[in-house]
Structure 1
Amino acid sequence: MQIKHSHRYALPTLVSHAFDIRQQIFTHEQGFPADIDVDEYDDNALHVVLYLTDKPAAVLRCLLLDEGLIKVGRVAVLKQHRGKGLGRELMRFVEQYGLENHYSAIGLSAQHTAIEFYHTLGYQTQGEMYDEDGMDHIYMTLQLK
């Protein structure tokens, strides 16, 4: 298992792998419109890809915000690799990245089906459930120590 990260233009192959996984999960599997997956935030985001035997298996995107917050999104694990702890490894990577780079918190907009997963990692819900692109989400945060 290897986790690599890059901004969009530094390692275009890594970002291409990230976009491919996101399209497989969010567009083909979950039915979200393809045109909403890649957006204006991707140009400045930190893209993180987890590789198994040199093949991309899981991905997430981090927006590194000025106010000491990392906003995580686009978390996706290929279907054949679910249940192996890869999502947990990606989130641990982001937490460690945040600590090493002096961020104070991580925030994310969790799909309702992923709330329990994030709770097990120490994230707390903030506010009420809301609709995002036709699916219930809730904002969750993790304070970094």
Structure 2
Amino acid sequence: MNISFKSFTYDSPLYEESITLRNRILIEAVGRHENCRDFDFPEKDIYISAFDGDTLIGTAIITPLDEDTVQMRQMAVDEVYQGQGVGRAIANEFERVVLKNGYSKVILHAREVAVVFYKALGYETHGEFFYEIEIAHVEMRKDLTRRH
């Protein structure tokens, strides 16, 4: 597998394709039927998608929160590609793009089942578990200027 990445904005044709993947992996897989939502100002977000050839295999959203901090949102990897390093590759590309755009800190809301994955990438839990769309999450943070 040769993973390539594309960064794009909400007005790209890739946007709808990424929503389809996010809905399938993040929403429908847990028995829900609403669509993934983007924040109030999707034009500020940067979307990252991973491809194997022409096939979309994963995606994540960079949402700026302030001059230093972004939120990683809705990371999703196609079921066929899970467990093959695609999530790690997306996280690495995410952090590269974040730094390139002048940000240094990342927060995310990790599902309970993903905490070990993010800890292996250097993210630290912050606070207690809470519920989003009836699924347990915990806030995790990483300062990209610190060596881990």
When the two chains are superposed, the root-mean-square deviation of aligned CA atoms in Å is 1.4
Distance 2:45 2:77 in 1: 19
Conservation of the 8 A alpha-carbon contact between 1:57 and 1:77: yes
- Equivalent residue for 1:129? 129
Conserved? CA contact 1:41–1:63, under 8 Å: no
**Contact 1:5–1:46 (8 Å) recurs in 2:** yes
For 2:37 and 2:75, locate their aligned partners in 1 and report how far apart those are by CA, in whole Å. Answer: 13
CA distance in structure 1 between the aligned counterparts of 2:98 and 2:27, rounded to whole angstroms: 29
* Ranges in structure 1 where 5+ consecutive residues have no aligned partner: none
Structure 2: gaps (5+ residues): none
Matches within 5 A, 1:1-145: 1-9=3-11, 11=12, 13-35=13-35, 37-39=36-38, 40-145=40-145
Q: What TM-score, normalized by structure 1, do the two folds share?
A: 0.91
Do the aligned residues in 1 keep the contact of 2:62 with 2:98 (CA within 8 Å)? no
Letter in 2 for 1:101: N
Q: Distance in 2 between matches of 1:27 and 1:119?
A: 23
Give me the whole-angstrom Cα distance separating, in 1, the residues matched to 2:33 and 2:44.
Answer: 22
Distance 1:43 1:101 in 2: 15
- Offset from partner CA, 1:47-96 (integer Å, 9 cap, x none): 11101011100011110222311100111011111011111111101111
CA contact (8 A) 1:17 1:49 kept: no
Distance between the aligned counterparts of 2:109 and 2:138, measured in 1?
6
Aligned residue type for 1:83: G
Q: Distance in 1 between matches of 2:29 and 2:136?
A: 17
TM-score of the two chains, using structure 2 as the length reference: 0.89
1:108–1:133: structure 2 CA closer, same or farther, 3 Å change rule? Answer: same
The separation in 2 between residues aligned to 1:83 and 1:18, in whole angstroms, is: 20
Asked if the contact 2:123–2:142 (Cα under 8 Å) also holds between the matched residues in 1, the reply is yes
Please, which moves more after superposition, 81-90 or 43-52? Answer: 43-52
Q: Matched residues, percent identical?
A: 25
Give how far 1:41 is off. 4.5
